[in-house]
Amino acid sequence: MNIYLVLGDARNLPFRPGLFNLVTCSGALSEIVDKKRVIKEMCDILSYGGKMVVMTFNGERIPLLRTWAYNTKKLEEDLGECGLKI
């Protein structure tokens, strides 16, 4: 298996639409200001029927993070806007 590292901006991913069967984001989404734009970019590079795995801080469980971390409902809404099924 070949692995290639690519430096890019999450708001403008350097890949063609539908290229990947799996897209992951681990811990970064809560740190990004324009979350919806990044989610849209991830959705754009995801193939039809592909899967997305998002791991993020949960503002419902960690009170100090409530001002910027996702809660379950908001994350589901933002992912749903791209047509993803939860």
Domain-wise residue ranges, the chain: 20-80
The answer to whether 20 touches 47, Cβ cutoff 8 Å, is yes
Give the three-state DSSP class for 80.
Answer: helix
Its pTM stands at: 0.80
Report the C-alpha dihedral over residues 41, 45, 51, 52, rounded to 10 degrees. Answer: -30
Asked if 56 and 30 touch (Cβ cutoff 8 Å), the reply is yes
Q: What is the pLDDT of residues 53-65, one digit of tens each?
A: 988 877 666 666 6
> How do residues 8-20 score in pLDDT, each as one tens digit?
899 999 999 999 9
